[in-house]
Amino acid sequence: MLSEVTAIRYITPLREGGSVPGIVEADDLGTYVAKFTGAAQGRKALVAEVVAGELARRLGLPMPELVRLEFDPVIALGEPDEEVQDILKASGGLNLGMDYLPGSVGFDPLGFEVDPELAGRVVWFDALINNVDRSWRNPNMLMWHGGLWLIDHGAAMIWHHNWPGAAASAAKPYNATDHALSRFATEATVAAAAARLAPEVTADLLAEVAAAIPDEWLAGEPGFDDPDDVRRAYVATLAGRAPDIAGRITLTGAPRQADPPPQWLRPWVEGKAK
Ligand SMILES: Nc1ncnc2c1ncn2[C@@H]1O[C@H](COP(=O)(O)OP(=O)(O)OP(=O)(O)O)[C@@H](O)[C@H]1O
Ligand SMILES: [Mg+2]
């Protein structure tokens, strides 16, 4: 279960995120990144955050703590941006909080080195949850206290947007050629990650993860009897994908063709220059 806190101060919006999360202070004196139910991405993005984030942490990946965040838009009346206000006003009640990592910087694949073993684990994990939102263009990882941290799993598990087609969708391969860590991971480290982590992704572990999803975000899902019924669908889909997704990961694209040297450089390249 996620612990529950109440936001007592709205500090500022995080405009670099498409869903415009906000930094808030809570009644436990912690500072959190609030992901709002009223954002355009909707409550399923928050469900994906909970499932992926809680699974990542249980598999030993660096993932900030998630909390249930009670939010009253009244505390944010001073926010002047009308678009942000609209999101906040639509988000009264339960939202998702992620422990704020102060002083962290966005991960840049050209600026930091990542241990190939860790890179293999992250790529395998992203393949499992079908995370298409950790590319070099938008890495959704932070560097904090010298280490790599995973954030932002709102776009994972695309199959939960269409449950009748979920099994077929989850049977598809995972293309990691654009992944922010593809230049650090190797076939061998991804295979080692799969050998170590896939057996850990049991139905029991997944049920524990699914239990952390608030009922409110699962209620009324078409085709399901109740929130526990939806939870079982998350468990079944991930449990089905874990054993063999490793064999369906494309890690490196076709080698890029180098541009031919310009005409004036050819004598040197071809060794004919005097
Ligand atoms: N736990 C955190 N600690 C510090 N900064 C964070 C944290 N989580 C998010 N951020 C900052 O806020 C930005 C937006 O967060 P996030 O990527 O989760 O939002 P999003 O709206 O889902 O983004 P996207 O546009 O990638 O879909 C991040 O790029 C990062 O700079
Ligand atoms: Mg992001």
Q: Read off the amino acid at residue 266.
A: R
Q: Which residues pair with 141 in a beta bridge?
A: 150
CB of 140 closer than 6 angstroms to any ligand 1 atom? yes
Give the number of whichever ligand sits closest to the CA of residue 19. Answer: 1
Question: Which uninterrupted H or E stretch holds 189?
Answer: helix 187-197
CB of 49 closer than 6 angstroms to any ligand 1 atom? no
Question: Is the distance from CB of 212 to CB of 175 less than 8 angstroms?
Answer: no
- For residue 9, the model assigns a pLDDT of 98
Q: Beta-strand (E) ranges in the chain?
A: 3-13, 22-26, 31-35, 66-71, 93-99, 105-106, 141-144, 147-150, 174-175, 249-250
| pTM given for the model | 0.92
CA of 95 to the centre of ligand 1 (A): 15
- What is each CA distance from 162 to 41, 127, 157, 169, 270, in whole angstroms? 15, 19, 10, 9, 57
- For residue 273, the model assigns a pLDDT of 63
CA of 100 to the centre of ligand 1 (A): 10
Residue whose CA is closest, atom 19 of ligand 1?
Answer: 17
Quote the tokens at residue 64.
């900030």
- For residue 263, the model assigns a pLDDT of 76
pLDDT in tens, 96-111: 999 999 999 999 999 9
CB of 16 closer than 6 angstroms to any ligand 1 atom? yes
User: Which of 31, 144, 152 for mutating ligand 1's site (highest number of atoms within 8 Å of CB)?
Assistant: 152
Low-confidence ranges of the chain (pLDDT < 50): 256
